[in-house]
Amino acid sequence: MKVVKQSGDIVHFDREKLRNSLMLSGASKEKIEDILSIIEREIYDGMPTRKIYKMAFQLLKKTSKAHAARYNLKTAVQALGPAGFFFEKYIALLFQTEGFETKTNIILEGNCVSHEIDILVKKGNMIAMVECKFHGSSEIKSDVKIPMYILSRFNDLKGKTHPIFSESDRINKCWVITNNRFTTEAIQFGDCSNLKLISWDFPIKECLKYKIEENGLYPVTCLTTLTLNEKEKLLIQNVLLASELVNNSQLLMDIGVNYRRIKNIIKEASDLCEKAGDNRFIFND
């Protein structure tokens, strides 16, 4: 059976790949087998993979909204757009959870020109500039031109002192983070140039997917009980994490959510956050 990816590529339907992605939701083995059986009865030659994903999502949602929300994680991170502004703030929160001091959207003077830096992080004697490359489509990869360009900016900044966390800090590391993937050539260049590259599933124990699950940093865009409009309102109010809603119903009241729905939204957020650190990582989605 052939299926069509978002890129237009035609590939064989991979039952194990679908099973592995369903396992990440935290659903039971029995439920996963039920979903696979239903999908295999409905699948047809040339079916778009996005329809298969949507079917799996809807079937998970019928039994557990939290499982559906977790299954929806990559799409939820892509919803922190369209320009990536919220993605940058989200990545800063991730660093804060790991004990870093952070600054966002800072303009620094280099030896040649000025640079607006997405995020600056500090831990101990390490100060790094972090550049975020956000993509709204899962098929887009960051190619070698991205780390090459960022390396040139890092080189223009690293030889000077800057007023960041103190009056005279020196940037000594550079990280590039994307919500999708890097090309093989980009990774090779990063390794050769001592740039730290982090993508959705690379490096395995430091990738974005792992860090989100390990720290329970599920974005509000995961939640199936929120409408798109409500998610956007929360993001504008600087509410990025589902965990922020668990003990604060006022945040939902402030954006006009009906009181009868608030209980369901908070329950989904609570169930989702309880799964933090319950990792079943399989990196082949």
Domains of the chain, by residue range, sit at: 2-64, 85-212
For residue 242, give the nearest of 211, 265, 208, 209 by alpha carbon. 265
Determine the pLDDT at residue 276: 60
Determine the pLDDT at residue 5: 83
Crossing angle between the packed helical segments 49-63 and 15-23, to the nearest 10 degrees:
40
Give the fold, CATH level 3, of 85-212: Trna Endonuclease; Chain: A, domain 1 (3.40.1350)
Tell which phi-psi region holds residue 216, choosing left (phi > 0), alpha (psi between -120 and 50) or beta: left
177-186, 224-233, 276-285: which has the minimum mean pLDDT? 276-285
pLDDT over 60 (residue 281): no
Determine the pLDDT at residue 136: 85
pLDDT over 80 (residue 68): yes
Determine the pLDDT at residue 82: 75
Half-sphere exposure at residue 262, Cβ-oriented, CA atoms within 13 angstroms: 15
Determine the Cα angle at 222 with ends 37 and 17, to 5°: 35
Top pLDDT among 172 and 275 is at 172
pLDDT over 60 (residue 284): no
Interatomic CA distance for residues 125 and 119, integer angstroms: 17
Q: Tens of pLDDT along 171-220? A: 999 999 999 999 999 999 999 999 999 999 999 889 999 999 999 999 99
pLDDT over 50 (residue 279): no
How does the average pLDDT of the chain come out, rounded? 92
pLDDT band at residue 56 under the 50/70/90 scheme? very high
pLDDT band at residue 278 under the 50/70/90 scheme? low
pLDDT band at residue 150 under the 50/70/90 scheme? very high
For residue 131, give the nearest of 185, 184, 186 by alpha carbon. 186
pLDDT over 50 (residue 157): yes
Determine the pLDDT at residue 283: 39
Determine the pLDDT at residue 285: 40
Determine the pLDDT at residue 8: 80
Interatomic CA distance for residues 282 and 201, integer angstroms: 9
